[in-house]
Homo-oligomer: A and B are copies of this chain.
Amino acid sequence: MSDSRARKASQAVLLASADDTEASFYEAMQRADLDRMMGVWADDDEIACVHPSGPRVVGPVAVRAGFEAIFVNGPVQVSIHQVRRLESGTAAVHHVIERVQAESPEGTQTAYILATNVYMRTALGWRMVLHHASPGQPHDMQEVAEPATMLH
């Protein structure tokens, strides 16, 4: 119990901002570190995760099982391409473009993923409550921020 409390206290320090929590999330992906990954998430039955093209995975047990299945293949070569932030006092919404690389017989494959990460401020620091990821576009245009680029 005291070990668990010490670990949680240390996480609370580490998760002092949504940016800190996001950095921990992607480090956990890069290291295939399941305990670190689950330390990032809020302890709430309604946390949810949508992996690219997957179903919605709801609750800590199912979210953990989902990442365990991903980490079976080892570390995920993911880097953050861009982050947009929207914040209220107790919550932060981050729009992230992830760049994921994977080795294949044809060489290194690169894919872009559109991720929405939502964090809420809890007694244990800022915790992730949502990771919703969709396959990005096959070309470089992952975002449309000007109507002209959409209409023409």
Pick the contact of A61: B55, B93, B118, B146 (CB < 8 A).
B146
**A135: chain B residues within 8 A (beta carbon):** 53
Docked complex Cα distance between A143 and B59 (Å): 11
Known interface pairs A50-B116, A93-B118, A151-B65; A129-B86 also in contact (CB < 8 Å): yes
- Whether A145 lies near B91 (C-beta < 8 A) is no
Interface size class of chain A, counting residues whose CB lies under 8 Å from the partner chain: 35 or more
Contacts of A6 in B (CB 8 A): none
Q: Please determine whether B50 and A85 come into contact, CB atoms closer than 8 angstroms.
A: no
A114 in contact with B66 given A46-B95, A146-B61 (CB within 8 Å): no
Measured CB to CB, the closest approach of chain B to A127, in angstroms, equals 11
| Cross-interface CB contact of A48 among B53, B95, B136, cutoff 8 Å | B95
Cα-based distance from A103 to B78 in the complex (angstroms)? 40
Closest B residue to A131 by CB, please name it.
B116
Interface residues of A in 7-28 (CB under 8 A from B): none
Give the interface of A toward B (CB within 8 A). 44, 46-48, 50, 53, 55-59, 61-62, 64-66, 69, 84-86, 88-91, 93, 95, 97, 114, 116, 118, 120-121, 129-130, 132, 134-137, 141-147, 150-151
